[in-house]
Amino acid sequence: MKMLINVPETVVADALRGMAAAHPELTVDVENRVVVRRDAPVAGKVGLVSGGGSGHEPLHAGFVGPGMLSAACPGEVFTSPVPDQMVRAAAAVDSGAGVLFVVKNYTGDVLNFEMAAELAEDEGIQVAQVVVDDDVAVSDSTFTAGRRGTGATLFVEKIAGAAADEGAPLDRVVSVARQVNGSSRSFGVALSAVTTPAKGSPTFDLPAGELELGIGIHGEPGRERRPMMTSGEIADFAVDAVLEDLRPTGPVLALVNGMGATPLLELYGFSAEVHRVLGERGVPVARTLVGNYVTSLDMAGCSVTLCQIDEELLRLWDAPVETPALRWGR
């Protein structure tokens, strides 16, 4: 497998050096692996901190900036960051109004953020946490680590980020974040397995004529494997899986997300099919975002995330945002 890297050990640091060079509006601490918006801490504003394993770019560092995250801490590839990074990020963005940790529900992320929250509170920083768990492919959470956090992370970070930017207090930012998570569901499919830099070969074997349904974002196999389907058939399957669980009674936000190696040509085509299915099911779509946002290195495939919104959430979604990977309205 050919990769555009120097050595596996430095891929994260190398990427952060590149981010620093391309985005002078961010403060990138390459050594400690913390990316902070340049003007932090913003007086009176709740700080929003997220992080997780690297390999999901632009999540999370690509979402740092006005209107979204205050800081992000990237871990090793597919490995959660360590508490030291999170505490450093919290300290850098706390203006006294408190800090919200946005955590994807994966065991490592949850444990490290919990430890970080305790350490940050020891330093006098008020910390709240919201755990994102939107993946309907994990159905029986009694016998698993619970639903994974995937595409809804972007919705939570954008909408809670907008609330924080408006000066909402910590408890309000927390309740907005929880509402978005509670109203969002996702389902993902893989057309190819992922190759991590450290391993250098695909982490699971997916034959050419098959696809994997219900995958997460770490190259872990999904809940079932089938012969390859058309874009329309995949949209039927994925959207129905989401709707079966979400049962929206009003308009939704839709994220049609690429896993990293699927071109926009295919993603837009898939988005058309997602719109067709939602139309057939009588679900109005208020906004659609199409692109590679919550990725899994070089995995081919896509995921659908739907969030049932009300007027307030839609207003916050439309609010200006200015980050490396998401920007509008400014």
Partner 1 sequence: MLDADFFRRWMAATATAVDREADHLTELDSAIGDADHGSNLQRGFTAVAAVVEKDAPATPGAVLTLAGRQLISTVGGASGPLYGTLLRRTGKALGEAAEVDRDRLARAFAEGVAAVGQLGGAQAGDKTMLDALLPAAEALGSSFRGAADAARAGAGATVPLQARKGRASYLGERSIGHQDPGATSAALLVEALAETAADGGVDA
- Indicate which residues carry an active-site annotation: 56, 218
Q: Which is nearer to partner 1, 196 or 323 (CB)?
A: 196
- 148-173 b/e (C-beta count within 10 Å ≥ 16 → b): bbbbbbbbbbbbbbbbbbeebebeeb
Q: Which is nearer to partner 1, 203 or 271 (CB)?
A: 203
- By CB under 8 A, residue 145 contacts partner 1: yes
- Which of 66, 75, 149, 251 forms a contact with partner 1 (CB under 8 A)? 75
Distance of CA 169 to the CA centre of its chain: 23
User: Both tokens of residue 267?
Assistant: 């993603």
- By CB under 8 A, residue 82 contacts partner 1: yes
In angstroms, the CA 165 to CA 68 distance is 8
The one-letter code for the residue type at 284 is P
- By CB under 8 A, residue 81 contacts partner 1: yes
- By CB under 8 A, residue 10 contacts partner 1: no
The total number of residues shown for the chain amounts to 330
Count of CB atoms situated within 10 Å of the CB of 244: 12
Between residue 202 and residue 241, which ones bind partner 1 under the rule CB under 8 A?
A: 203-204, 216, 218-221, 223
- By CB under 8 A, residue 60 contacts partner 1: no
- By CB under 8 A, residue 79 contacts partner 1: yes
**Which of 98, 134, 99 has the alpha carbon at shortest distance from 245?**
134
Distance of CA 57 to the CA centre of its chain: 9
- By CB under 8 A, residue 78 contacts partner 1: yes
Candidates 102-110, 183-191, 240-248, 274-282 — which segment interacts with partner 1 by CB under 8 A? 102-110
Q: Which is nearer to partner 1, 215 or 254 (CB)?
A: 215
Phi, psi of 245 (to 5 degrees): -95, -35
Binding site for partner 1 (CB under 8 A): 53, 75-84, 106-108, 111-112, 114-115, 138, 140, 143-145, 148, 196, 198-199, 203-204, 216, 218-221, 223
